[in-house]
Amino acid sequence: MDYVNLQGDIEKLESTGIHSFVKKAEGRLAAMEDKLADLNKKLAEYD
């Protein structure tokens, strides 16, 4: 849920032109994607 909310926030920030916040939010999004990839890999190992 946080991931989807953050994507929406990035879109809003981009439309307002606040690029410094966009970069921070994109960094958080990338960190979430890395964590999700790691969790998905662990789940696949248990199957």
End-to-end CA distance of the chain: 25
Output the pLDDT for position 17: 82
Per-residue pLDDT averaged across 17-43, rounded?
92
Measured between alpha carbons, how far is residue 42 from residues 15, 16, 18, 25 in Å?
37, 38, 37, 26
Between residues 9 and 38, the one the model is more confident about: 38
Q: What is the mean pLDDT of the chain?
A: 90
Q: Name the residue among 31, 24, 32, 26 with its Cα closest to residue 3.
A: 32
Per-residue pLDDT averaged across 4-20, rounded?
87
